[in-house]
């Protein structure tokens, strides 16, 4: 019997990412302006800097640059989150990391659905940052119960989408026709709906509590609220946005500009005020809603737990001195530059000090000490390349969210992480991102040492030195 041919998850993921980008470009024309600007900036920089082009090629980042996107959605219930996990699994995307945004007064907690292996990331690194509303943080009991009732009655997935998810799980894949249908059907979940599911008065009640609560509760589904391209020079993007008619936020979130970028830097144009209709007993009532915005990111090297502790410590010092970066942007950026002078800006120094994750490549034509990992790198026997940070930063995400909120209309929420409840609602544990990066680093070293022809004992000794870095 002929085995059925199932479409690879990476192929479905790439098709879905492309379809979503086309849909969002049609819904939000300024997203198209953003894509054109980012492409122009990236192309000019690569033409001017052949060394950067070579580095991107060596680390498998050049081929994915133009297609790379991440999006974000906000869900309202455990049932929605659980089904969304199953939907993303069809595309080879799994929940990585737990993010508590209540730290910034935002009543959600989140994970990022993304590919997890180096090969899958190279094929297509599409990610969706997925937040779940924390009903427990809404202090007004009547409002909380009203929200729960509205969310319980909505169905954000089409019947055919649910059937195709079941099919994928039962037969461990989708054939070509099923995959095409899955992309078309699943896309509907993420579309913008111009009609709210509540009347204007109810919408205003939720808005007065928090704008994100209104955005999550008052609509038919979790419209994609931004879709983010990757740039090689986010400072150029920040500078050029006003000339392109885009209202840029005050600062770039994340670490300062560096010769060797780390983690994630993000900026955005501010959320659009879009016309919507409210349901009323006498028909419909015109209004508007602010939710969707344009975000851009520049990704750098993934940091180890030690590196993240240093990063967090330096950032905390800056934010203790500048409580509102949007108001004191120049002071904030100056403080940021000064504090981050303490973070090494050399890839091999970061590797040696155990701050950053890298991949290793073998250079068999080089000779040198084959017992010391550090000397093999310094002697060129092993080359190193940064592992791209594929995840998110809670403070940066919160900064983007906050720049699109009217703080006069929001309730304060106490910091309240609850990963156990999130994972119960999700229906699985989230994956530890540090373990993923460490595994990629270790496998790359093992492969390089094998290419060099070293015996098993020597390979084991060198692999053990990763733990000493």
* 133: β partners: 108
Measure the CA–CA gap between 264 and 283, rounded to whole angstroms.
46
Q: Which residue has the higher pLDDT, 191 or 4?
A: 191
Q: Which of 267, 277, 253 is nearest to 394 (CA)?
A: 253
pLDDT at 443 over 90: yes
Q: Which has the closest alpha carbon to 426: 98, 59, 57, 8?
A: 98
Residue 154: per-residue pLDDT: 94
Region 381-406: mean pLDDT is 75
Please, are residues 43 and 214 in contact by the beta-carbon 8 Å criterion? no
Q: Give the pLDDT band of residue 51 (cuts 50, 70, 90).
A: confident
Question: What pLDDT score does 224 carry?
Answer: 92
Residues 68-123 pLDDT 10s: 789 999 999 999 999 999 999 999 999 999 999 887 778 899 999 999 998 899 88
pLDDT level of residue 415 (50, 70, 90 thresholds): low
Rg (C-alpha) for the chain, rounded Å, is: 23
Query: For the residues 459-467, what does the mean pLDDT come to?
Result: 89
Model pLDDT, residue 397: 57
* Mean per-residue pLDDT, 266-273: 83
Torsion of CA 243, 248, 253, 255, to 10 degrees: 20
> What is the per-residue pLDDT for 139?
86
Mean pLDDT of 415-425: 85
Of the candidates 383, 361, 390, which has an alpha carbon nearest to the alpha carbon of residue 129? 390
Percent of the chain with pLDDT strictly greater than 70:
93
Residue 7 tokens, joined: 């479409």
Mean pLDDT (whole number) for 123-152: 92
- Tens digits of per-residue pLDDT, 284-329? 788 888 888 888 999 999 999 999 999 999 999 998 888 777 788 8
Mean pLDDT over residues 431-453, rounded? Answer: 95
Among 290, 294, 84, smallest CA distance to 186 is for 84
Least confident of 62-71, 186-195, 365-374: 62-71
The fold for domain 9-297+391-427 equals 2,3-Dihydroxybiphenyl 1,2-Dioxygenase; domain 1 (3.10.180)
The pLDDT confidence band at residue 469, using thresholds 50, 70 and 90, is very low
- When mean pLDDT is compared over 39-53, 268-282, 399-413, 444-458, the highest value belongs to 444-458
The pLDDT value recorded for residue 295 is 87
Return the pLDDT at 61: 72
Distances from the Cα of 66 to the Cα of 69, 256, 365, 388, 409, angstroms: 9, 24, 34, 15, 38
DSSP 189-249: GG---SB-SS-HHHHHHHHHH-HHHHHHHSSSS----EEEEB-S-HHHHHHHTGGGT--B-
| Lookup: tokens for 199 | 């009347």
List the domain boundaries for the chain. 9-297+391-427
Packing angle, helices 176-187 and 159-171, rounded to 10: 140
CA distances 298 to 40, 113, 226, 262, Å, are 15, 19, 16, 9
């Amino acid at each position: 019997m002929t085995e059925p041919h199932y479409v690879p998850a990476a192929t479905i993921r790439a098709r879905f990412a492309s379809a979503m980008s086309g849909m969002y470009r049609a819904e939000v024309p300024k997203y198209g302006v953003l894509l054109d600007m980012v492409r122009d900036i990236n192309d000019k920089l690569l033409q001017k800097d052949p060394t950067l082009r070579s580095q991107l090629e060596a680390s498998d980042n050049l081929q994915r640059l133009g297609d790379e996107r991440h999006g974000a959605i906000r869900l309202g219930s455990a049932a929605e989150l659980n089904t969304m996990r199953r939907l993303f699994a069809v595309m080879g995307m799994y929940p990585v990391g737990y993010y508590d945004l209540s730290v910034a007064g935002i009543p959600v907690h989140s994970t990022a659905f993304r590919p997890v292996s180096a090969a899958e990331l190279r094929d297509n690194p599409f990610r969706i940052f997925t937040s779940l509303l924390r009903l427990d943080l809404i202090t007004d009991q009547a409002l909380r119960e009203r929200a729960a009732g509205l969310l319980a009655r909505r169905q954000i997935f089409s019947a055919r989408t649910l059937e195709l998810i079941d099919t994928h799980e039962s037969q461990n894949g989708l054939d070509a026709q099923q995959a095409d249908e899955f992309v078309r059907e699943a896309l509907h979940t993420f579309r913008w709906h111009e009609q709210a599911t509540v009347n204007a008065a109810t919408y205003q009640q939720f808005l007065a509590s928090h704008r994100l609560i209104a955005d999550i509760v008052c609509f038919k589904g979790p419209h994609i609220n931004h879709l983010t391209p990757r740039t090689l020079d986010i400072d150029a993007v920040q500078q050029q946005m006003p000339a392109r008619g885009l209202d840029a936020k005050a600062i770039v979130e994340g670490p300062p500009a560096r010769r060797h970028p780390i983690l994630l830097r993000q900026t955005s144009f501010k959320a659009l005020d879009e016309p919507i209709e409210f349901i009323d007993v006498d028909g419909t009532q015109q209004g508007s809603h602010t939710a969707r915005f344009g975000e851009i990111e520049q990704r750098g090297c993934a940091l180890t737990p030690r590196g993240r502790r240093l990063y967090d410590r330096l950032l905390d010092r800056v934010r203790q001195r500048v409580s509102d970066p949007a108001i004191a942007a120049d002071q904030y950026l100056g403080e940021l530059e000064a504090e981050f002078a303490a973070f090494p800006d050399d890839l091999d120094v970061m590797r040696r000090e155990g701050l950053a994750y890298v991949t290793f490549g073998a250079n068999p034509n080089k000779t040198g000490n084959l017992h010391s990992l550090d000397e093999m790198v310094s002697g060129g026997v092993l080359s190193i390349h940064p592992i791209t940070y594929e995840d998110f930063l809670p403070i940066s995400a919160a900064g983007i969210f906050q720049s699109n909120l009217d703080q006069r209309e929001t309730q304060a929420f106490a910091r309240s992480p609850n990963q156990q409840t999130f994972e119960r609602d999700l229906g699985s544990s989230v994956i530890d991102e540090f373990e993923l990066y460490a595994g990629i680093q270790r496998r790359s070293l093992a492969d390089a040492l094998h290419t060099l022809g070293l015996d098993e004992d020597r390979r084991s000794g060198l692999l053990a030195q990763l733990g000493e870095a």
